[in-house]
Amino acid sequence: MRLTPEQIQDAVGRDSVGTPPPHPLSVSTDSRTLNKGELFVALDGPNHKGVDYTAAALQKGAAGVLLPLGTPAPENVWTLRVPDTLAAYGRLGAASRKAWGGPVIAVTGSLGKSTVKELTAAALGTPSTVASAKASYNNEVGLPHTLLSVEEKDEFLVAEMGAGKPGDIDYLRKLAHPNTALYTPLCVSHGEHLGGIEGVIEEKSSLSRCWKKNQTVVLSTTHTHHRVLDARSGQARRIRCGVHGDIWASHVQYDELLCPQFIAHTKEGSHSVKLRLPGTFQVENALLALGAALSYGIPLGEAAQRLTGVTPLPHRKEVHHLPQEGLLLDDGYNAGLTSTRDSILWAQSIAKNRPLALILGDMLELGAGAAGTHIALGRMAARQGFKRLWSVGPLAALASQETGLPGGSFSHVDDLVQTLKEWSGDGWVVLVKGSRANHLDRAVNALLGAAA
C-alpha cells in the first residue's frame, strides 16, 4: 500500500525535517531496487549500516528518508528520524495493513510454512487477487515488507510468520492482526532458542491464543502438538484437517517422483486433487490450504483445481534431470532432523535401481544434540542404500566419518564444487540437503553445469 505522509508520520512519530511530498508513498529498504518517489527506510543488516545507503537512495529519487536519531538530515529532502528504524518499519507495515483492511491468513509452524503459504494463496484465488509473502519473508523485516506490498485490489493476504526467539510470533501478530491462523507441523528443529518443543508450542500458540468467534484456526487432526494449539485457541472457529476433521483425503496415490493425487472430502462434497509437489506430507499441506479456502466460502472444486499449478519453490524439493535417467533432488534451502529424514526416504523411494548420493550440509540451530543428530542421519543414509556422501561443514563431517562412504568432507561448499565438476552424476540420484548458510545451491549449479 502507498501511505500518505500523514499516515507515515502517525505511524512513526512527528520528528520530521523538510516538506512532505504531496502524494502517497511506497516504502523501500533497498537502495538498489528503490523507485523514484518512494520512502527509503535505513535498516541495518548483519554487515552494513542502512544510513550508508542514503545517498544512493536519494540518487534513485527517494521522496523521503527515515533515519536513526542523530543522523544529519539531507538538504531539501523530507526526513523522519526515529530511535529504532526497524521498529518504525514494523509500524509502517501495521499502518499498511490497517489502511488495506482485508483478511490476513497467517501461516506458522516448524515445517513447510513457505510451501503451505504458496498452496493457500493458490487455493484462495489468483496472483491478481491474492497477495502473499515473497520468498520466506517471515520475520520482523520480512513481514512488514509483505504488509507494505499489499494493494487495494487484493482480496486476501497470506503472510508467513517464523520465530527465532520467544516473543517473535506475538510481535508479528500485533503487526498483521490476522483473521486466520494456519498451523503447519511443529518440531524441535530450529527451536534451539525457544526452549525445546514445549517452547516451540508456547511460541506458536501465541498467534491464536484467546481468539474470538470471528477468527479462524486451521490445523491438523493428526499431530499431538496441534491438539495443544487447538485447546489454546479460545473461541476461534476451527477448521480441522485430516481423519475425523472438516476436510480429509482418501484414495491417495503417488507418481514416480512421489507427487500425490487424492480425493479431498468435506461434508458438502468431494473433489480430486493432483499436486506437482513431491512428498507424502504434501497431502496434509494441501488439506490445510483447502481448509483455509473453505473457511472463506470458496468452492472446493475451484480451490482444488488451482492447487495443480503450484510447483516447488527454489531449492525446496526441486527435481532436475541428469543424463542417463539420473536425478538431482535439490532440497538445500533449509534442513532439520525431520525434513532431512523425510528427504532421505524420498530419494530412496524414487531411486529404483539407480545409485544414490547425498550432499549433506550442516543442520543449524539444533542445540546440544546436533552432533548426535548428524551421526544418526549418516547412519540412516547408509541403511537406505546411499553409496556416496559428501559433507559440508564440521557437523555434517561427523556423518561422513560415521558411514565411511566414498565422497569426502569439506569445510566450505566452494571446496566441494571443483570435485563435483569433475564427477559424473550420470545415472545417479543425488540428494542435496542442508541449511541455507551452507550455500549448497553452488553445489547444485556445479552438478548441472557438469551435466550440460
Domain match, 60 and 138 both = no
Q: Is 174 among the domain residues?
A: yes
Q: What is the tens place of the pLDDT at every residue in 45-94?
A: 888 999 999 999 999 999 999 999 999 999 999 999 999 999 999 999 99
Q: Is 93 among the domain residues?
A: no
**pLDDT at 192 > cutoff 80:** no
Strands (E), 234-286: 237-241, 247-254, 260-266, 269-274
**CA separation for the pair 133, 146 (Å, rounded):** 5
Which of 13-27, 100-114, 171-185, 371-385 is predicted with the least confidence, judged by mean pLDDT?
13-27
Under 8 Å between Cβ of 150 and 175 = no
**What is the band of 122 on the pLDDT scale with cuts at 50, 70, 90?**
very high
pTM of the entire structure?
0.91
Q: How many domains does the chain have?
A: 3
DSSP-based three-state secondary structure for 336: coil
**pLDDT at 345 > cutoff 60:** yes
Domain match, 254 and 127 both = yes
**CA separation for the pair 91, 10 (Å, rounded):** 9
Mean pLDDT to the nearest integer, 18-43 = 96
Q: State how far Cα 188 lies from the chain centre.
A: 17
Q: Is 428 among the domain residues?
A: yes
Compute, in degrees rounded to 10, the torsion defined by CA atoms 233, 238, 241, 243.
100
- Report which of residues 260 and 187 the model is more confident about: 260
**pLDDT at 452 > cutoff 60:** no
DSSP-based three-state secondary structure for 123: helix
pLDDT at 451: 60
Q: Is 313 among the domain residues?
A: no
pLDDT at 234: 95
Domain match, 367 and 227 both = no
Instruction: Return the bridge partners of 48, or none.
Output: 45
**pLDDT at 338 > cutoff 90:** no
pLDDT at 156: 98
Other C-beta atoms lying within 10 Å of the C-beta of residue 22:
8
**CA separation for the pair 340, 374 (Å, rounded):** 10
Q: Counting Cβ atoms within 10 Å, is residue 222 exposed (0-12), middle (13-18) or buried (19+)?
A: middle
Domain match, 9 and 107 both = no
Mean pLDDT to the nearest integer, 16-29 = 94
Q: Is 269 among the domain residues?
A: yes
**CA separation for the pair 37, 58 (Å, rounded):** 10
Concatenate the DSSP letters of all residues of 61-73 into one string. T-SEEEEETTPPP
**CA separation for the pair 13, 80 (Å, rounded):** 8
User: What CATH number has the domain bearing residue 64?
Assistant: 3.40.1390.10
Instruction: Return the bridge partners of 17, or none.
Output: 79
**CA separation for the pair 452, 450 (Å, rounded):** 6
Please state the φ and ψ torsions of residue 387, each to the nearest 5 degrees.
-105, -10
Q: Is 95 among the domain residues?
A: no
Please state the φ and ψ torsions of residue 436, each to the nearest 5 degrees.
-55, -35
**What is the band of 195 on the pLDDT scale with cuts at 50, 70, 90?**
confident
DSSP-based three-state secondary structure for 253: strand
User: What CATH number has the domain bearing residue 399?
Assistant: 3.90.190.20
| Cell triple for 188 | 524441535
**pLDDT at 309 > cutoff 90:** yes
DSSP-based three-state secondary structure for 212: coil
pLDDT at 191: 66
Domain span at 243? 101-307
Q: Is 96 among the domain residues?
A: no
**CA separation for the pair 148, 140 (Å, rounded):** 13
**pLDDT at 359 > cutoff 70:** yes
Domain edge (last residue) among 57, 84, 111: 84
pLDDT at 401: 94
pLDDT at 352: 92
| Cell triple for 71 | 543522523
According to DSSP H, which parts of 206-314 are helical? 224-231, 282-295, 300-307
Q: State how far Cα 205 lies from the chain centre.
A: 18
Q: What is the tens place of the pLDDT at every residue in 362-382?
A: 987 777 788 999 999 999 999
